[in-house]
Structure 1
């Protein structure tokens, strides 16, 4: 199963989405099956730094 998470703009959106991504991994979902979509703000650096694939 694949998971797409969308979060952009502020930490109030990005950090909760990252927590969801980490919770999915804890439940056995492969990191490669999780992709984040966002814009050209803080998420562009923060999401890949957390080890997730990011698509702008």
Structure 2
């Protein structure tokens, strides 16, 4: 999937507002988290598979 396909997927099927992924990993605003991931992926210059936000 490209970053645009991923973005379209999450726009059409939004995740819950808050996610308790692990006891030590809690995402309190998933939309903000996704926006930061989209920005990181969009601005990454290397191979997409090596992008930390991917």
Q: TM-score range by the shorter chain?
A: 0.3 to 0.5
Relative CO higher for 1 or 2, CA cutoff 8 Å, sep ≥ 6? 1
Structure (1 or 2) with the greater strand fraction: 1
